[in-house]
Structure 1
Amino acid sequence: MPKVIYIEANGAQYDVDVAVGQNLMEAATENMIDGIIGECGGVCSCATCHLYVDPAWVSKMPPVDDMEESMLDMANDPQDNSRLGCQIEMTEELDGLIVRLPVSQF
């Protein structure tokens, strides 16, 4: 099963097995990673699963669609590598993906 490495703002790191087809928000909340809230349940109507994709992985990400981009505008401290975890579906090709979590989702 592919893995994702979640790194919280305080440096705590979690290596999580993520099933192919599962999104990064679901995997984080199922594994009780505090930095991801997922308030809307993954329907791209909030920004509480905001994360930063490690620069080495940005080019491997699916493109950001218009809805995700508008939600990212509401995220706390958005950056060029910001994404919503609910919009990134795990694939075998993303095995080893590193994502960092913001200091706060609000």
Structure 2
Amino acid sequence: MPKLKVIAFDGTEFDLEAESGSTVMENAIKNAVPGIEAECGGACACATCHVYVDPAWSEKVGQPDVMEEDMLDFAYETKPNSRLSCQIKMSDELDGLIVRVPEQQA
């Protein structure tokens, strides 16, 4: 199982084991990571699962598609490495992925 590190805004680190094919959001919700609201349940219809992908992982994670970019317009304090965690599917290639939760969600 790929490993995933989610860092909450207050610096608390959550070291998770994620099933391949599951999303970063699903794993964050399952492990009660604060700040990941996921109000739409992962349908890419809100911006309440916004995360910052660690710059070392940006290329492997890839860029958001058009629909995700539209939703990111509703997120607070987006950065070039902003993604919606519901759109990042875990895989062996993402083993060790690090994401950070912003201070505030939409």
Aligning the two structures, in what range does the TM-score lie when normalised by the shorter sequence?
Answer: over 0.9
Alpha-carbon distance in 1 for matches of 2:54, 2:62: 14
Check if 1:86 corresponds to 2:90: no
Tell me how large the CA RMSD over aligned residues is: 0.7
Counterpart code for 2:65: D
Q: Residue 61 of structure 1: CA displacement?
A: 1.0
Match in the other structure for 1:47: 47
Superposition deviation, residue 92 in structure 1: 0.4
Tell me the equivalent position of 1:76. Answer: 76
> Larger deviation: 29-38 or 49-58?
29-38
Which stretches of structure 1, 4 residues or more, deviate above 2 A after TM superposition?
none
Q: Structure 1: where are the runs of 5+ without partners?
A: none
Match of 1:71, SS? helix
What is the CA–CA distance in structure 2 between the aligned matches of 1:58 and 1:105, rounded to whole Å?
A: 21
What's the TM-score once normalised by structure 1's chain length? 0.97
* Equivalent runs, 1:17-28 vs 2, <5 Å: 17-28=17-28
Identity of aligned residues (%): 53
The residue aligned with 2:29 is: 29
Paired position in structure 2 for 1:5: 5
Aligned-residue offset at 1:62: 3.3
| 1:103 CA drift (Å) | 0.4
How many aligned positions are there?
Answer: 106
Residue type at the aligned position of 1:22: S
TM-score normalised per structure 2: 0.97
**5+ unaligned residues in a row in structure 2: which ranges?**
none
